[in-house]
Every structure is written in C-alpha cells, then in structure tokens.
Chains A and B, each alone.
Chain A
Amino acid sequence: MKILLIIPAYNEEKNILQTVKNIQETNQKLDYIVINDGSSDGTKQKLIENNLNHINLIHNLGIGGAVQTGYKYAYENNYDIAVQFDGDGQHDINCVSKICEPILEGQVDMCIGTRYLDKSSSEFQSTFMRRLGANIISVFIKICCRKKITDPTSGFRAVNRKVIKEFAENYPTEYPEPESTVSLLVNGYKVQEVPVSMKEREGGESSITRKFWKPADYMIKVVLAIMIDSISFRKRGGKR
C-alpha cells in the first residue's frame, strides 16, 4: 500500500520544514509532496534548499487548486491512499495511521479527521464562532445528503484510490472541504469520521481564517454551494 501525504503550503516558510521533519521522524516509509501554492515569501527557496519533494505552482490557485494538484500527482504515481495534511503544523502526524485505518480495511472511501467528535482527544477545539459555523454547515449537509459530518471544514482527510481518481478529474476549488465531501456523499461514496487531535497553528497565516474574517459571507456562500452541489453533482448518477 503506497500512501502519499499531500501538503498544501501557502506562505509557510516558518512551518514547512518542521512539518516535513516531523513526518520523516515519525514514519520513514510515508511519502509526501508539498504543493507550494505560489507563495510570495521564501517557501520556494526553503523547499529547494532542503531538497524536499515538492511541486511549485506557477501561479497562486487557492487551497482547492493546490490540493487537487496533489491528487493528480497521487493518481499519476499510482498511490493507493492520499492524505491531505496541512503544512502549518496544525495536524498531528501520529493520527495519520488512525485516519488511514478504515480505508485500509476497505470499509470507507474517505475518512475525515475531526476535532469535535471526542472532546478529550483534541487540545485545540478552535473558537466558538468556528464551531458554530461548522455546526451550521453540518446541518445543511445532513439535510442534503442524509449524513452527519461533524467537522466539514477539516482539511485532514484520507481517501482511497477510487476517490483519488475522482478528485484528480473533478475537485471543487472554491470551498473545497465541504463541497468535496458533498460531491462524494451524493454519489454514494462512503465517508467516515474519526476523532483526531489538532494543535494551534505554530505560525504563519491560515487560508481558511482569512475567509473567516467575513464569517457571515463565507457561511451563506458555503450553504448555498452545498445545496447547489447536492443537485449538480448528483446528475452524474450513482456510484461508479
């Protein structure tokens, strides 16, 4: 089983080296690919200097476009499992095996690492506003897809080969986390959540909190996007 960690990085020069070091120290066998999303700081130089496996996007695409590049890379290089892993030190490398497990057992197509399932396991529960936002999105996903996803904005997720192919061809790039979850659910893929611990960011700037500066705006658009997606993605008909 070949597993690839997809690490999107936008202006993460302070964090990226430590993140990759953590990965290599914990598990030598894990492959990783850093997707540098056209960073304007020294991320690119850092990646080249330290000879990290990376792709430099020639222009900034946003988190969705960057992650999709990772899925394309995973598909072309015949990986069985792809894990989305943030470059800012927020996700715990020790939890990777935990979210890969249900996929290795063949039970599910995508496994999301969630902060909210088990309160004790995660030291970082994030702010009240963010939890509220996640709950609202969660309710709408439940309405549209009949499946409860407690942490729909979590960027810590593992997918199997079938979903890698699906995402390489077709990945919603505007509100990637909730939208991609909906796109899988309406097409009959199995999605499961496991509790993971998440840390506070070690530095740099999050790509989602930048959007969360305008929480109401973001929420309305995500909710509408979910409802539109649950119709437009379904058209392609059932599980392939």
Chain B
Amino acid sequence: MQISLKIALIIIMVFYLLCILGAVKKKNMRIGYLIFWIITGVILMIALLIPNLVENVSNLLGFGMPINMIFSIAIFVILYLIFDLTTLISKEQNQNILLIQEISILKKRLNDLEKKEENSNDQ
C-alpha cells in the first residue's frame, strides 16, 4: 500500500473514532450499537496498522486478492446490520401502533367521563 493512501485512511479512521466518541459523550445511541461500532473501529484500526495483516489473512483463507476478502466481509456485516435494523424497526412500529391505540382509547374514556361529570354538575 502506498504511504499516502495509508495516511489518508488513518485520517478517515481517526475521524470515525471521533464520531464514535461523540456518540458516547452525547449518550444518544444505545449501548448495544455503540459496542458494535467500537469493535468495528478497533478491527479496522488493527487491520490498518499491522503491516501485511490483511494480505496474510486473505492468503490463508484462500481469497485471490485481499480486496475480495475485505468486500465479502464488509457486505456480510452490512447485510447483518440491515437485517438487525429492519427487525428493530418492525418492533418499534408495533410498539408505536400499540401506544397510539391505547392512548386514543384512554382519551376517549377521559372525554366520556368529563362529559358525564359536566352533565351531573348541571343538574
């Protein structure tokens, strides 16, 4: 790998880690997802900093080119992540529907009670 490319990648990695740090500080991400991003960051950092690690591993696993291994792994990780997210969205949607229904029914009951009270006060 050319040294200029390596420096560029390291800069991107530092930016990525800063993003994670920001998310940790703001506490706006669930711990489970934070752990996923931190582990991903650490793995990428190791792959970047240890010379010839990617090449050796891809040779060992029988990939023709190191880039093939990287793409394959990346695609599978992303697929897993999207699957996980659609599961989460479905769960959230169901919870939303439940909340809207229950709140609306409660509001109706509250209205009915208030009306009843008004009527009994008038009499």
Q: Does B101 contact A (CB under 8 A)?
A: yes
* Distance between A172 CB and nearest chain B CB, rounded to angstroms: 11
Contacts of B14 in A (CB 8 A): none
Contacts of B108 in A (CB 8 A): 54-56, 73
Listed residue (B97, B102, B103) with the most chain A CB atoms within 10 angstroms of its CB:
B97
Contacts of B100 in A (CB 8 A): 57-59, 61, 65
B103 near A69: Cβ-Cβ < 8 Å:
no
B105 near A73: Cβ-Cβ < 8 Å:
yes
Task: Tell me, in angstroms, the Cα distance from A57 to B105 when the chains sit together.
Answer: 8
A65, closest chain B residue (CB) = B97
Q: Does A181 contact B (CB under 8 A)?
A: no
Contacts of A78 in B (CB 8 A): none
Q: Does B104 contact A (CB under 8 A)?
A: yes
A73, closest chain B residue (CB) = B105
A56 near B107: Cβ-Cβ < 8 Å:
yes
**B interface residues, how many (CB within 8 angstroms):** 9
Contacts of A72 in B (CB 8 A): 101-102, 105
Task: Tell me, in angstroms, the Cα distance from A57 to B104 when the chains sit together.
Answer: 5
Task: Tell me, in angstroms, the Cα distance from A65 to B98 when the chains sit together.
Answer: 9
Contact with A along B70-102 (1 / 0, CB 8 A): 000000000000000000000000000100111
Task: Tell me, in angstroms, the Cα distance from A68 to B99 when the chains sit together.
Answer: 12
A62, closest chain B residue (CB) = B97
* Distance between A59 CB and nearest chain B CB, rounded to angstroms: 5
Contacts of A76 in B (CB 8 A): 105
Contacts of A69 in B (CB 8 A): 101, 104-105
A55 near B105: Cβ-Cβ < 8 Å:
yes
Q: Does A173 contact B (CB under 8 A)?
A: yes
Task: Tell me, in angstroms, the Cα distance from A59 to B97 when the chains sit together.
Answer: 9
Contact with B along A42-84 (1 / 0, CB 8 A): 0000000000001111110100010011001100100000000
* Distance between B87 CB and nearest chain A CB, rounded to angstroms: 14
* Distance between B110 CB and nearest chain A CB, rounded to angstroms: 11
**Beta-carbon contacts under 8 Å, B18-75 to A:** none
Contact with B97, one of A55, A56, A73, A173 (Cβ below 8 angstroms): A173
Task: Tell me, in angstroms, the Cα distance from A55 to B103 when the chains sit together.
Answer: 10
**Subset of 16 A-B contacts with CB under 8 Å:** A54-B108, A55-B104, A56-B104, A56-B107, A57-B104, A58-B103, A59-B100, A61-B100, A65-B97, A65-B100, A68-B97, A68-B101, A72-B101, A72-B102, A73-B105, A73-B108
Residues of chain B whose beta carbon lies under 8 Å from any beta carbon of chain A: 97, 100-105, 107-108
Query: Which 7 residue pairs spanning A and B have beta carbons closest together?
Result: A55-B108, A69-B101, A57-B104, A65-B97, A59-B100, A55-B104, A58-B104
